[in-house]
Chain A
Amino acid sequence: MKRDNMKHNGKFGKYGGIFVPELLIPAIEELEEAFYKFKDDDKFIEELNFYLKEFGGRPTGLYYAENLSKKLGCKIYLKREDMLHTGAHKINNAIGQGLLAKYMGKTQLIAETGAGQHGIATAVIGAKLGMDVKVFMGSTDVERQKLNVFRMELSGAEVIPVDMGSKTLKDSINEAFRYWISNLDTTHYLIGTTMGPHPYPTMVKYFQSVIGKEARKQILELEGCLPDTVIACVGGGSNAMGIFSGFVDDEDVDLIGVEAGGEGTETLEHGATITKGTEGILHGSLSIILQTEEGQIRETSSVSAGLDYPGVGPEHAYLHSINRAKYVPINNNEALEALKLLCETEGIIPALESSHAIAYAVKYAKKEENKGKTIIVNLSGRGDKDMFTVAKELGVEI
Chain B
Amino acid sequence: MNKVEYSEIFEKSNQSNEGIFIPFIVAGDPDYDTSLEIAKLLVDNGADALEIGFPFSDPVADGASVQNADIRAFNGGMTIKKCFKFLKELREYTDKPIGLLLYYNLVYKFGIDKFYEKLKNIGVNAVLIADLPPEEADDVMIAATNHNLEQIFIVSQATNNERLKEITKKVGGFIYIASVMGTTGARAEVELNTTELIKRIKEHTTIPTCVGFGISKPEHVKKVLSAGADGAIVGSALINIIADNLDNQDEMFSKIEEYVKIMKKSTRG
Contacts and interface: CB of A to CB of B under 8 A. Distances in A.
Interface in A1-25: 1-5, 9, 17-23, 25
Contact of A19 (B104, B110, B159): B104
Given A178-B183, A291-B105, A294-B81, A19 B132 contact: yes
Given A19-B104, A21-B130, A165-B57, A280 B159 contact: no
B250 interface: no
Given A19-B132, A23-B178, A182-B182, A282 B105 contact: yes
Contacts of A295: 80, 105-110
Contacts of B79: 294
A21 B159 contact: no
B133 interface: yes
Contact of A21 (B106, B131, B137, B166): B131
A62 B244 CA distance: 60
B57 A297 contact: yes
Contacts of B183: 178, 181-182
A294 B106 contact: yes
B34 interface: no
Nearest to B156: A23
A59 to B, nearest CB: 37
Given A1-B170, A281-B105, A22 B137 contact: no
Nearest to B74: A296
A1 to B, nearest CB: 5
A26 B157 CA distance: 10
Given A19-B136, A22-B178, A25-B159, A281 B67 contact: no
Given A174-B58, A178-B63, A3 B80 contact: no
Interface string B238-264: 000000000000000000000000000
Contacts of B137: 1
Interface string A264-297: 0000000000000011111110100101011111
A170 interface: yes
Interface in B36-85: 56-64, 67, 71, 79-81
Contacts of A21: 60-61, 130-131, 133, 154
Contact of A174 (B59, B81, B158): B59
Contacts, number: 119
Nearest to B107: A295
A43 B98 CA distance: 55
A296 B59 contact: no
A284 B58 CA distance: 11
Interface in A280-329: 280-284, 286, 289, 291, 293-297
A1 B178 CA distance: 21
B248 to A, nearest CB: 25
A26 B155 CA distance: 11
Interface in A323-381: none
B160 interface: yes
Interface string B73-117: 000000111000000000000000000000111111110000000
A125 to B, nearest CB: 25
B158 A296 contact: no
A26 B164 CA distance: 12
B23 interface: no
Interface string A163-188: 01100001100100110011010000
B136 A182 contact: no
Contact of B135 (A18, A23, A165, A174): A18
B1 interface: no
A86 to B, nearest CB: 28
B60 A23 contact: no
B223 to A, nearest CB: 20
B142 interface: no
Contacts of B109: 278, 280, 291, 293-295
Given A181-B183, A283-B60, A1 B166 contact: yes
A164 B59 CA distance: 11
Contacts of A286: 108
Contact of A23 (B58, B67, B80, B181): B181
Contacts of A1: 134-135, 137-138, 166, 169-170
A335 to B, nearest CB: 27
- Among A22, A25, A282, A284, the most chain B Cβ lie within 10 Å of the Cβ of A22
Given A18-B135, A21-B131, A27-B158, 18 more contacts: A1-B135, A3-B135, A4-B162, A21-B60, A22-B154, A22-B155, A23-B154, A23-B156, A23-B158, A25-B133, A178-B62, A182-B181, A280-B105, A280-B109, A283-B60, A284-B131, A294-B79, A297-B105
Q: Considering the complex of A and B, which 9 residue pairs feature the smallest CB-CB distances, nearest first?
A: A295-B109, A182-B182, A26-B158, A22-B154, A21-B61, A296-B57, A294-B80, A297-B57, A281-B105
Interface of A: 1-5, 9, 17-23, 25-27, 164-165, 170-171, 174, 177-178, 181-182, 184, 278-284, 286, 289, 291, 293-297
23 contacts: A1-B169, A20-B133, A21-B133, A22-B155, A23-B158, A25-B133, A25-B158, A27-B158, A178-B182, A181-B182, A182-B181, A182-B182, A278-B109, A279-B108, A281-B105, A282-B58, A284-B131, A286-B108, A291-B105, A295-B108, A295-B110, A296-B106, A297-B58
